[in-house]
Amino acid sequence: MNRLPQTKFSAVVLVLIVLISSANARVFRPADDVVFHDRSFLTQDESRAAIRTEEGLLFIWNRRDLNFTLLIKGQDIRPMNDPNNIFLTVDGRVLQIQSLPISNFAADARKNKLDDKAILAAHRDWETKFLEDELLHSKVAIQSSSEKLTSGTEALVWQYDLPEKFKNPDAKTQMYLGIVAKDYIILLNGVVSASSSEAEVRKFLVGIMTTLKVSSEPIDVKKLQDAIRKGDKP
């Protein structure tokens, strides 16, 4: 089966930032344990789901060769109405979750024995080139810094200020946090705004990525849902 082409992260996020409104977000009822479980836009090997927990949402992504969960804590979490991408608002903050094969931007990474820092930098540069050449048609000043998660995993945080024509009170700066997981990048995107400072958005993204759990086997959503209902911690 042919795989769908990978969507560029920044293009999707930037468009959403400009258009975002509360009308785009779907409120889930307290009785909804499974907020979504969608395979319609993925291959037969993949599925994404989110299960409501006492703390917020448990996001599950089963991919070929990569299965993981992220715990998203919040009181008001709403999936955005985007059929092809994972966008949420979490207590008013925009969040995108993505994963991408390293081979998409660094085909010889493993052959050349690149370490995680080099792979993350290669992804940042690849993404930046797309932004500048295809989307913004101008140079952007990228700021990068390393972050070591409590698990010891190396993460890269990078950001850029939106051009003036895209800026509004809800979106001033785009921030990314990425890690290497097996042969993939897992990427979280957030937005710095008038109500959310750079430090707050960084803490928000780091807090979510810290909850990452990678499974060697595909995650059974129904089994996990039943365990959470019984009171097990995800």
d(CA 165, CA 26): 28
d(CA 141, CA 120): 17
pLDDT value of residue 41: 40
| Residue 199: burial class (beta carbons within 10 Å; 0-12, 13-18, 19+) | exposed
pLDDT value of residue 37: 57
Structure tokens, 229: 């209902």
pLDDT value of residue 32: 53
Residue in the structure block whose two tokens are 């909850």: 211
pLDDT value of residue 34: 56
Answer yes or no: are the C-beta atoms of 103 and 112 closer than 8 Å: no
pLDDT value of residue 81: 75
List b or e across 68-93, with b for residues whose CB sees 16 or more CB atoms inside 10 angstroms. Answer: bbbbbbbeebbbbeeeeebbbbbeeb
Answer yes or no: are the C-beta atoms of 57 and 39 closer than 8 Å: no
Return per-residue pLDDT of the chain as tens, 234 residues. Answer: 333 334 444 434 443 443 333 334 444 443 456 555 554 444 446 889 889 999 999 999 999 899 999 999 999 998 887 777 889 999 999 999 999 999 999 999 988 999 999 999 999 999 999 888 888 788 899 999 999 999 999 999 999 998 888 788 888 999 999 999 999 999 999 999 999 999 999 999 999 999 999 999 999 998 998 898 888 888
pLDDT value of residue 38: 53
Q: What is the pTM of this model?
A: 0.85
Give me the sign of the Cα torsion angle 14, 193, 202, 138: positive
pLDDT value of residue 93: 92
